[in-house]
Structure 1
Amino acid sequence: MRIEVRCIEHLSSEQRQSLSLLYGPLIGKSSVCLYEFLSAIQNKIELEDLYLMLSMNEAQLDRARNHLEQYHLIETYIHEEEMLIFLYAPLMPNKFLCHDAYSRLYLASVGVNCFDKVKMMLQKDVSVPSDYTKVESPLDVSRLDAWNESKEIAYEKVKPSMKQKYDFDFATLFKGMDRVIPVRYRTKENLDRIAEMAKIYGIDAKDMRKYVQRSINPSTHVFDLEKLKNMVMGNRKVVKINKDPYQMSPVKFLQNKQNGIPVVKSDQALIERLCTEFQFPVEVVNTLIEYTLQQTHQQFSRNYVEKVAASWVRLHVDSRKRALEIINQGSVENRKEKKIENVVLDDKFYTQKEDKSDSQIQQEMLELQKMLKEGKL
């Protein structure tokens, strides 16, 4: 098999520190070595040569590659006898240590003392003396004020194609909204956040248009994402169940589980964490919701849900099928633990001993006392 390696991002010195000090204890030396090697060659190589140069066998290489995939350091695509690997930069140290899943896994791996020492080692002094004045030069986007829908169409034709992270109808969202949602608001960060909220909370493009419009202050021209989120979380529209309910937005899935009663904000926030920080697909989040409700008599307990979610991260659950395998495996093990084995006793245990008379018991006691005095016992 021939492997083609493409490096998507250049690694900074901080990201290299993150790879060695933070990712290293979680993915292992073999995975770090594989990542560094792929980053160095950035070319085509035969799989057999890769085994030879890294002194790894097939199982070791697959395990190292799987670890890199789990932490989103690489993406692997296979077609017949060809393999395509994309390399992505590690998270910056501060983002890694604030990541809900990665930081917990790291703490569990290295312990509190090592965690604190590494955190201090990677900490940079960003304080500025009080007598200094910050010099700011904001980006001038006034030339985009005349941007219209026809220019946007022309731009869409020439811009590089990008991998879509979310399945959301942006065409409906932006149609006829040039003045309401100017181009300067259509940053990747804003679009990702809009599509992410639509997926989690079950908001269609038409309703999102209304919420986005209300989130932009016409006087200050500030796009308030927090205000948008509050309106999205307050959405009370009941969504019809799809043919596959596990592909519904997770918030609407839970709302249907409780007979259409709106989901409280704390539960919504917990679901959002499962989607964004644990990075589970929608079908996995919905399966997790259903499973934890069944296990806790319909109580959506944050501690229990996050405990199950963390275990699923470690077990590499990335689909409903994989989640059901883990659930079924646990059910079988629980049944084995609860099963009471039938103990068959030997006939001698059922033989009743003959009752002894008082004189016989007294005689045996005297014999025992005699043996004790003579030191025979």
Structure 2
Amino acid sequence: MKKWIIHHPITLSTQDLNALQLAYSLIVTPQTVSMYMLCCAFSTIREGSFTSHDLAIHLNVFDHEVEPLLQSCVSVGLCEWYEQNNVITLVLKAPLSITQLTDHPLFGRLLSTQESLYLKALMMKYPPLSQNLTPTSFKYNQRQLSWDESQEQNFQKQTIQSSTQDSFFKPNLFLNLCTDIIFPMVFRTPEIMQTIENIANTYLVDEASMRKYVSKVINYDKQTINLDKLLQNVKTMHQVSGYTNLSYQQHHLSFFTALNEGRPIIQKDQQLIEYLKEKYTFDQETFNFLLETILKSSQGRFTRKYAEQIGESWVRAKVKNIEDAKRYVTSQTSVTSSKVVQLPDYYDQVDDSHDKENLLKQLKEMDDE
């Protein structure tokens, strides 16, 4: 009987276990995954050699089934096989992550190969019926199976419609970038997608970046998603930058970035912008013009106190749209430029005519001399 030796111990992390259960189970049988995990356990708790029977007992399989399962592990790169003098040495390797495995060029080939082998096994186990048989099912009363069509929605990919026509974030493009393994179907509900879209539009997160943020807040073991943590990660990690084209119709964060010549918005300014957006009910064009007015009138300084002064003055002036805002700013500018500096009252009360006469007399006397 052959003896087996594991070259060095290996410990599986939570990420490795997720990859084995979610990704590797698509291209190899569950028994192959169990064999690899059993070898990892043997490498840490058992020293020396062991036999095929030792592995077969723990997996509840026959002894002759152990070697094919280990060969399947070798075929997908989970271990390497070295044999000498009837002693087999296994070198275990860490599994690829879910992203690495699904992006691997051989993933599709392995998946199709395993599927073809599975279909071939089914054909061998259940051969086709002989052509000499006579169908007689029509002689018996057949019960019609009912099926609720609404149940089909749980197994179909959702096509999410954007809440606004000019939305920055494209939900359908985001879903195309996310595989079912990264963003499972159970999370693609209208409520969750609407929350993701709102966060993306608020902080100008593109589809590829949102894919990264979403994957970090999903607990694949418990099948839960933490949307509060998603919002926190976007606030602390994402920076809006790169926008240089000015348009009053664009998003307020990209408009503010364009005013800064494409430089990223710091977190303090971004929080102040969101505060002003919630406080004042201006439309998009008027709010962007408000941001531009604040920066121009304050020589680039952006403080909460001054921004609220400008915003409150617009509210008192009953500004409704961008035309009203422009007229109000123009009127305020003309009033400021037409102001004349007022002299103190005592300047008008002093009578200097007498002093002028004395001065002229003194000048004449000097000329006569």
TM interval, short-chain normalised:
0.3 to 0.5
Give TM-score scaled by structure 1 length.
Answer: 0.43
Give TM-score scaled by structure 2 length.
Answer: 0.44
